[in-house]
Structure 1
């Protein structure tokens, strides 16, 4: 027999009261809460949620001043200290909860009415330093949720009762500092303010030995260079939006106090120039601000740009203060010379779990801005080698960060890095052949994806000494062998796609050829007794003849091209230049044949029915071009990619074979 759960009437009333209080505080119903607690003020300290929150916890979280004002007035003076020490299941006090809100005035109200009233300075300091179960103080929690004004307010309150510098040094139970947590939440404005208050925050390490710069260098989406490309309209809007903060005071406040400025010469002219720029910036901000309110896309793009600008500013500040690279350098296990033969497969030694430097973390993430700033301040770091014996070129190439690779390889200091051999015996060419971090490339079709991979490999090969192509790693494999082994599945997929596409296009081209061939022997209007077309003298008949011949010629040419593709070997070498060029030509002739066929049909209609009205003729033209437009709409992106690939291969051929310097013909591509 099951035991019934009995609930007394007073308990039922208490549950009902908790529900009523909870609903009213969520709705910010100040009058309703006053009615509940006016005659039962002891109930203010009751828990109303499963997480042991009081009504004050929820009200502080909501940040509604009116509700807090009503509730605070009902707290007996003798219990204000007790209220501030009450914690929920997470160990959060009322101050922890209000720190997560965006309303600084709500925090001011709680601090003034509850903290400062009836508590000694020592007690106030203890309450402000109270930690939750994660080890967070209210100041720490405000930084975690990214409200800079709230952080500043709590910092001022701590200064009033104690030493705020000690609070900046606090770390959570998981080892994260207040600066770490601000960076993790991508609250870069808050992080810059904190860094200006205490520069030593930049050198603090978490439990994994990482500084705040390590964390920032791993945030690819926080920087423009590693953000995926967007449509042209969005790119134009992005570059037109103001880069600097619209709040002039905020802009000045966030400037790092690490550099001394010359205030003696030309100060008056500087002030005038800055004033003019400020006026123009404010006007631009006002215009874009109005547009952003009514156009959500602009608002999203602007927020993204603000994040990019703030992240770069923070990176510059952290780079100056960070010293994580001043450790004992790693020595490579392999000399920078080639090995033509390995007796047996060798394994690299296990390495300690030491984190990479921010330079290498940024290179892995593809953040060119951080790489540039680090090498600008510490150019000697380009020679740095990590625990696996890899330099920055190894890292950038292995992780397919093309922009970082291009930036570094063009530096004069990096010329000898191309000869580096890591602890696995791999050169940069081996890493270019590796698909460990390959994410599918930027092209649409399997054939172009494989071509892109081959272009990437050939691009890196052109930078290394020619004899390095014979070098074998510790698995006794050359870079060429590794490339073919890693791309066998991709080759099979590309071969199958090319065969299916060529077969389908050949079928369409044959059908077009059949139609236009038949049209050539069935002239519009018929023939006279001597065999001449009746409408031969009409101007439109000449147009009909030209389009019919052009359609037949282009369709048959397309058939020949696609048949040649089907009979080719379709090996790796074919996908580099020949195959994309032939596919581009085949698509061009096929598209042209479809267009001319529809023009032939249009000419036939106009010759036969002799349209007199302009609008009927226009309607006929539109109907005739509808299939062409639909075909172009769906096939143009594919055709465009193959056309560009064909142009690149032609320009590359000219660059490599014509006398003189033709480097300007090189078209850079993102791999």
Structure 2
């Protein structure tokens, strides 16, 4: 089939309706070489306003990026409409000049005659000044900021202004000085008192870098910037306190003294934030400046000792506060917040072992103050401990239940949830953020804290049922727990019953040619005695495991039990003991199989593996058992082991190392 050529006369197409055309390589070369004569002869053959590069740059964009002043002047004079055109990334000619060009006379005249270009933003939200700062283009930066100083405070899509970027980059090329020397100060406070502009504060950038030089530079040129706040971080004093920047806190307390009296979104003063960050030096600086800490209460009515106790993982801030002057500390020790909680309530309720130990050992701290729910610190901790235990149980139940849901073949969500519903792709994979102030505490730390209170006479004279309230689980969850435990109990019973029918036997060495090299011709009397003892042990463990598992199964099948939670709890422990005994029976059968073996390495290896596995199971079981029975002496001993290994021993080793170095220095080594 022959091809047919179709010729189209471009002149026959109305010029206003022609689509954009690509700039050819020869025209591009003319622009790059700033060859005006050749450029004019070629550009007259095209519709100049419609010529673009693949990313949407016009001829003027290309000329600006190469700094071709002659062609820039020609295009601006002949085709002024090109000045305001933006490419596919919404870059104007000033954006390209900021990133790649120089502040030539033509660029200066364009900036002066077209002030609207200064505030044009691209797809990233960057103005030309943003791009100039990012590219370290000092010449264009100085030009742009001199024409429109306010743009230095404009925020891009990331909430960063050119001034913030200059501080963040930390370049010592004078760009930050140019941006700060803006002449008249920019209004940081509006009439309604809101901070302007919203976004990331350049002061916070300097604090984050711990750059005291930039901080001093900002304060000298634009002191009003110190008052800027940042969402989630508070004012500059809040942020400096949160990262423990002592030098910055000292500077800000002198230059931005009023910032210490401002609260952040969480209702905390900077001194509270310092307590949260465990920075003793910063807390000391605040107390030296404001020797009246009882006056600083956050929105929950908590003083600094409340906050230090609640967040005191290592107790360093609590220890420092307790050592202060008696008159200064006395109003803090037993103060209550809006929920009636004392610092000891919060330290105990959030499992802060060291803070609880320091507070409960202080004679000035009352142990039996009750909060608004009529709980002492021990009872408050008991309620938290019970709640945590229930959450652990619910998690164990809900996870397998979620895994068992039917899954649609084309979706990861359960089929019954998808059927009849439209899925919004914008809402997928988005979880509700948890409250910022929420603290997740492990049950191990709660048990350890409970033991600290118990051994320091902070337990009220009440029954365990009153101290550890138990709220019943929903019927569906209870039924699921009973089903799971019953299945395991029946499986263990079946395995152990089979093990009782088929007992482990000694190998027949006389008739087995395959194992002739492994055994002696006959077993010795000692071997038979060992076999007899191991067999008795096997039978005891196997029958015990069978009995415990059957007892658990029968207990679960009792109808109308008044306390289903105790029913599940008791049966679970019976099953655990059955599993331990079944594992012991297995070890006995392995030992019987290895009697008379000459391969001692294999015997020892199998025995060691079995021992390690059994030990791991035992450790897990001991922890669960102790947690259930609240054996405080075990956890109290672990607490002191923790203190000595994490605090006392490292301090002693550092002191010893210092003494040895001093000794070497004095002896001349």
TM-score relative to the length of structure 2: 0.51
CA deviation profile, 1:115-173 (whole Å, cap 9, x unmatched): 3xxxxxxx97444555565599x9952424654444752234468xxx46966x76387
How far does residue 550 in structure 1 lie from its aligned partner after superposition?
A: 5.9
Q: Which residue does 1:443 correspond to in 2? A: none
Distance 1:514 1:134 in 2: 74
Q: Is the 8 A contact 1:140 1:178 kept in 2?
A: no
Q: Structure 1 residues 58, 484: closer, same or farther in 2, change over 3 A?
A: farther
Q: Which has the higher contact order (CA 8 A, sep 6+)?
A: 1
Q: Which residue does 1:537 correspond to in 2? A: 524
Q: Which residue does 1:522 correspond to in 2? A: 505
1:79 and 2:110 correspond: yes
1:469 to 349, 361, 368: 368
RMSD between superposed Cα atoms in Å: 6.6
**Unpaired runs of at least 5, structure 2:** 1-13, 22-47, 398-480, 512-519, 557-561, 648-669
Q: Is the 8 A contact 2:496 2:542 kept in 1?
A: yes
**Unpaired runs of at least 5, structure 1:** 1-5, 116-122, 224-310, 329-350, 439-451, 657-661
Q: Structure 1 residues 81, 481: closer, same or farther in 2, change over 3 A?
A: same
Alignment of 1:416-495 (within 5 A): 417-431=332-346, 468-469=367-368, 471-473=370-372, 490=388, 492-493=390-391
How far does residue 75 in structure 1 lie from its aligned partner after superposition?
A: 3.8
Q: Is the 8 A contact 1:362 1:371 kept in 2?
A: yes
Distance 2:63 2:539 in 1: 79
Q: Is the 8 A contact 1:426 1:472 kept in 2?
A: yes
Alignment of 1:619-630 (within 5 A): none
How far does residue 214 in structure 1 lie from its aligned partner after superposition?
A: 1.3
Alignment of 1:252-401 (within 5 A): 314-315=248-249, 317-318=251-252, 323-324=257-258, 355-363=267-275, 365-368=276-279, 372=283, 374=285, 377-378=288-289, 380=291, 382-386=293-297, 389-397=301-309, 400-401=310-311
Q: Which residue does 1:119 correspond to in 2? A: none
Alignment of 1:504-515 (within 5 A): none
Any idea what SS the aligned residue of 2:86 has?
Answer: coil
1:407 and 2:306 correspond: no
Q: Structure 1 residues 516, 145: closer, same or farther in 2, change over 3 A?
A: farther
Q: Structure 1 residues 15, 603: closer, same or farther in 2, change over 3 A?
A: farther
Q: Which residue does 1:196 correspond to in 2? A: 216
Any idea what SS the aligned residue of 2:213 has?
Answer: helix
Any idea what SS the aligned residue of 2:524 has?
Answer: coil
How far does residue 401 in structure 1 lie from its aligned partner after superposition?
A: 1.3
Distance 2:526 2:149 in 1: 92
Q: Is the 8 A contact 2:370 2:377 kept in 1?
A: yes
Any idea what SS the aligned residue of 1:204 has?
Answer: helix
CA deviation profile, 1:310-347 (whole Å, cap 9, x unmatched): x566456546655347769xxxxxxxxxxxxxxxxxxx
Q: Is the 8 A contact 2:119 2:127 kept in 1?
A: yes
Q: Is the 8 A contact 1:516 1:551 kept in 2?
A: no
Instruction: Pick the structure with greater CA Rg.
Output: 2
Matched length: 484
Q: Which residue does 1:261 correspond to in 2? A: none
How far does residue 644 in structure 1 lie from its aligned partner after superposition?
A: 9.5
Any idea what SS the aligned residue of 1:403 has?
Answer: coil
Q: Which residue does 1:20 correspond to in 2? A: 54
2:188 to 164, 171, 189: 171
Distance 1:654 1:404 in 2: 16
CA deviation profile, 1:328-376 (whole Å, cap 9, x unmatched): 9xxxxxxxxxxxxxxxxxxxxxx9999532111333x444467555457
Distance 1:484 1:320 in 2: 46
How far does residue 213 in structure 1 lie from its aligned partner after superposition?
A: 1.6
Any idea what SS the aligned residue of 2:268 has?
Answer: coil
